[in-house]
Every structure is written in structure tokens, then in C-alpha cells.
Amino acid sequence: MFTDKQLRAVLFIGLLAIARAHDMGFQNVAFSRGTLLRNGRKAVQSLDSGVQSNCVRICGERCVRMGLDQSNRYAKLDLDEETLIKEQQHVLVAYKMRPKYPIAVDYVSTAAHFAAESSTGTNVNVCTTDDHTMSVDAVVYEVDEDEELMKIAYPVKLFDRNITDGRAMVCSILTLVIGNNQGMGDVEYGKIHDIFIPPNFLRLFDGPAVDIRHMWRVLGRETDDYDPIVGKTEWNGGFVVGTIIKPKLGLRPKEFAEAAYQFWLGGDFLKNDEPQGNQTFCPMRTVIPMVVEAMKRAMAETGRRVFFSANITADDPDEMIARGKYVLGQFDHLAEQVSLLVDGYVAGPTAVTTSRRNFPRQYLHYHRAGHGAVTSPQTQRGYTALVLSKISRMLGASGIHVGTMGYGKMESEKSDKDIVYMLERDIAQGPYYKQDWAGMLPTTGIISGGMNAVRMVGFFENLTHANVIMTCGGGSYGHVDGPAEGATSCRQAWLCWKAGEDPIEYAKKHRQYARAFISFPGDADKLFPNWRTELKGLHDITGEEGKVVA
């Protein structure tokens, strides 16, 4: 309960706040400014000096913030979301936002300040504001303080367009929806959990030039039944067995090329890891010709076509273009078997667009290294991994890393499968918005981060399909019999899931898959506690592999 002195202090704060509202021109206050101030002074004079001082300090902070209260302009809680979506004139963004009390006044006014800072507002009323300016205000249209939910509608007219071709740009969207608002003094945090791009605006973004069908075609697989709108259990193209060159750094050209060759004897898709490029100990102009020869050797031996994903990330777009041209020139007639990798989060939308527009015939591989700084569930600012993935599709990524949905070593959850659905389907439900992609080509989920054959059956059961690129670095190069057998074990894990067989029973009949259990005994013990007994004596398995000695 409040004491009388505390109640009078609270009253004084409210009186001064309303008086300040009069100064700002609010017309719905029913008392004169003079009356409010006189009563307020009487209230505070009745307090002892210590309470007076604290009261004045709080009033000062709050009244300053009240001077920024723009809720009469930037909050329109009567707007209907269904109508906003139907009219296609706004980008809608759902945030989790918490005001920073006591600096913030209340939830709605803080949300309105957030919308103002994200669009046409500033910290004072300016004489240059006109009717057109106010017509492109971003406005808060829904709040739920208990859930910390704030939804803002951004008019599409706010966003920048290219002077060369009139197309829209992702960097302009990010500048507004996740720009200055991340440093506001009255906001504890604000994180984007979903974003809706109206279909007619979405058509102004590049989107992918090629999708997974390109890779399936190059690998010699059927693609006629591919349908991104309907989530089928298995599309014709199916699972792509991939890996990352390991170790991620340190290999010299000869060793790098040999590692590629060994994997390609069993797998489909091999990629540079995100930091690999043109290190002094492994120059691009030395290693790439060797990789080309390794690819030719592997194809001659197996009769299968394979893929290489080359990292062309750089600070300078001209350097990226030079790297892309060099790599494709070296592969020559095998160029369609080359994907170009861009570290899309650290290098940004410009780098992704540079690759998309200069090499439209290549599969564009978006690596998201660094994204956890803003997407992690532990991070309360920024945006989620789902939002990042939607951005990647708009930019034109053919594939993007999406984690392992709780089945690998990286931070992720089983519900992250919704990210894959959002990327691959033409209409998909997000946390707050259903996105219509307006026929934009799909982006494929690339699974990476601690995966191996032992973990894969559960992964596929959770995802419900296998139309992904699985890049098992340790899962291939960590297999006891080498990377080719590691790749084969991953393919067998997929076939086990596809056939609906029990993994232990399947392992009894398939050597490479069985020996994945002794390659990754920690995972096997956790997922299949009886494997040592069931597989003992089969495929040179003793059942003692990897046991922890007490």
C-alpha cells in the first residue's frame, strides 16, 4: 500500500505529465494547465525534502519522455491486420518489445516512439512536417504488454528503390525496421519475431535465380514432381549428401584437394567452410585447379556428377566478382557443378546481391556465420533466425544454413523446422503472419553443425521430409573408415528413414551406417542405448568402442 506522501507524489507526477500534455497541444485534457500546476505544487510542498527531491527527479525524467509521447500520431490501435494484409500497402513487423522503466512512460507511448524513430519522427515537432510526411508514418497497430508484443505497419512507400532498375532493396528495410530503434533510451529491447512482405512489394526483390531443381538436374535426378506449395513427404530430387572441408582452416592446396576427392567418392556436395578463401598457405589460384582435377578424378571413378561450393566472400564487390569469374573459368565446362558461397550475414545484403546479379546461373549458397549475435534466443535485440531466412530468400539465396533443429551441436530447436517450411513453400505460416511468396523460387535449407548418420533418422522424422542439403563435416571426415564411407553412412541413414526401418536393424545390414555407431559412440549411446549388444560381432564391431572407463 502507498503512504499518503507517496500517493501525493504520484499525483504530482501525473499532474505535471498532463500539464506537459497541454504544452504539446493535446486537446483531450479536461483541466487548465494553471490549475494542474497549482495543485501539483501544493501536493509536493506537503512532502519532506527527501521525498520532494526524489519526486522532482522522477518527474523530470518522465516529463522529458512525455515530451516525446507521439502516441496520438504513431499509434492507431483501431487498424485491422486482415485489412492491412489485403490492401498490400504495408510491411508488417511483429516485435517483442519491453520499455525501459522508469524512463518510459507506458507501453503504448514507448511503442509509438519506437515507430516514430523507425520512420518519420524525431524528438521534437518540426516545422517541415506536412500532410504527405504524415501519410507515410509507421504506426503501431497492435500491442499486448503482457506478451511484450508490438506490431508496426510500415508503408511500402518508405523504402528505398534502385535508381538503375526501380527494384526494392533489403538494406533499406533493415535500416528502418531494425536500425536506430535498437539504441533507443526508453526501450529495454525490441526484437523482430516475424515480418510480412506484401506480395506486390515482394515482386520487387530479386529472389533466387536458381533453386534446388538446378542441383538435382546437375546430379542427374528427376525433378518433375517438385512442388514448393505442398509439403510432400518426398519430392523426386531428394536428399543431397554434403560436407564441409575439415579442418576448417590449415590445409594446404594438395591436402585440400585430396580431402575433396576422398569425400566425392561417396558424397554429392562439398563446400568451403565460411573462413576459407585465399589464405597465404592455400592460395585460391593454386588450390582451385587442384580441386577441379579432384572432381574429375572422382567422377571418372564413380560415374556420378558432384558439386563444389566456392567461397567468394570479400569486402569489395569487385573482388567477389573476380573470385567468381576465376573459379568458374577454372571449372570451365563443369561450371554448372559450382555453387558460389557468400557469408551473407557478415558481408551483408550487398554481397549477396553482388553474387546473385553477376552470376545468375549459379546456385547461390548463403552461409549465415555470425548470425547468432542477433538471432540467438538468448539475444533480446535484433531478429530471429526465421526472419534472417526470409531475408535470404528475398535477396536471392538458393540455399541457406538453417541449423540442425536440435539434433546437432549448434543452438537450435525442433521447431526450427518451420524455417525450412517458410523457405521452401509458396505460402507458409510464420509465428504471426502467413507469408504469400507470390511465386518466388524456393530457398533450400542447408543442414549443418554437428550432424552425423547416427543423428539423422530422428532429424528426418522431425522435419518430415529430406529435401535438404546435409553438410556433415565431422560426420564425414570423423567416420572411422574415412570421408567416403562417412558420406555413404549418411546416405544410408536417409534410406533407413525413407524405408521406415528400425535404425539398429538397418545397421545390421549396412556396414557404413553400422560403423557410424562406433565412429560417434557418444551419440549412439544416447540415442540407441542397446546398440553395443545388438551390433556386437557385426561389421568388425566389438561393442567396446568409445566406452568411458571409470
Query: What band does 289 get if pLDDT is binned at 50, 70 and 90?
Result: very high
Cβ partners under 8 Å of residue 173, min gap 6 = 91, 159
Residue type (1 letter), 190:
G
- In this prediction, residue 223 carries a pLDDT of 64
More confident residue, 49 or 34: 49
What predicted TM-score, i.e. pTM, was given to this entire model? 0.85
- In this prediction, residue 4 carries a pLDDT of 54
- In this prediction, residue 82 carries a pLDDT of 98
Rg of the chain over Cα atoms, rounded to whole angstroms, equals 29
- In this prediction, residue 51 carries a pLDDT of 44
CA distance 361 to 309: 14
**Which tens digits make up the pLDDT trace of 220-235?**
987 655 454 444 434 4
Average model confidence (pLDDT) for the chain? 87
Percentage of the residues of the chain whose pLDDT score is greater than 70: 83
Query: What band does 29 get if pLDDT is binned at 50, 70 and 90?
Result: very low
More confident residue, 403 or 236: 403
CA distance 326 to 156: 39
**C-alpha grid cell, residue 378:** 538468448
- Does the N-terminal peptide bond of residue 283 adopt cis geometry, omega within 30 degrees of 0? no
Average pLDDT over residues 315-328: 99
- In this prediction, residue 410 carries a pLDDT of 55
More confident residue, 416 or 269: 269
- In this prediction, residue 124 carries a pLDDT of 82
Average pLDDT over residues 3-23: 48
Checking if the pLDDT of 195 tops 50, the result is: yes
| Residue 282 β-bridge partners | 279
Tell me: domain 212-535, CATH 3.50.50.60, correct?
A: no
- In this prediction, residue 170 carries a pLDDT of 98
More confident residue, 330 or 234: 330
- In this prediction, residue 33 carries a pLDDT of 38
Checking if the pLDDT of 70 tops 50, the result is: yes
Percentage of the residues of the chain whose pLDDT score is greater than 90: 75
What are the sequence ranges of the domains in the chain?
74-203, 212-535
- In this prediction, residue 408 carries a pLDDT of 60
Average pLDDT over residues 190-204: 98
More confident residue, 310 or 124: 310
- In this prediction, residue 36 carries a pLDDT of 41
Query: What band does 238 get if pLDDT is binned at 50, 70 and 90?
Result: confident
Checking if the pLDDT of 186 tops 90, the result is: yes
**Which tens digits make up the pLDDT trace of 467-500?**
999 999 999 999 999 999 999 999 999 999 999 9
Checking if the pLDDT of 19 tops 60, the result is: no
- In this prediction, residue 46 carries a pLDDT of 45
Checking if the pLDDT of 67 tops 50, the result is: no
CA distance 263 to 282: 19
Q: Angle CA(293)–CA(219)–CA(267) in degrees, nearest 5?
A: 65
- In this prediction, residue 222 carries a pLDDT of 72
Residues marked as catalytic: 246, 367
**Which tens digits make up the pLDDT trace of 102-148?**
999 899 999 999 999 999 998 788 888 899 999 999 999 999 999 99
Least confident of 15-29, 88-102, 256-270: 15-29
Q: How many CA atoms lie within 13 A of 28 on its CB side?
A: 1
**C-alpha grid cell, residue 115:** 515507430
CATH H-level superfamily of 74-203: RuBisCO large subunit, N-terminal domain (3.30.70.150)
Contact status, residue 432 vs residue 418, Cβ threshold 8 Å: no
DSSP character string of 145-198: GGGTEEEEEEEGGGS-B-TTT--B-HHHHHHHHTTGGGG-TTEEEEEEEEEE--
Checking if the pLDDT of 23 tops 50, the result is: no
Q: Angle CA(364)–CA(454)–CA(339) in degrees, nearest 5?
A: 10
- In this prediction, residue 111 carries a pLDDT of 96
In 184-255, where do the E strands start and end?
Answer: 187-196, 240-244
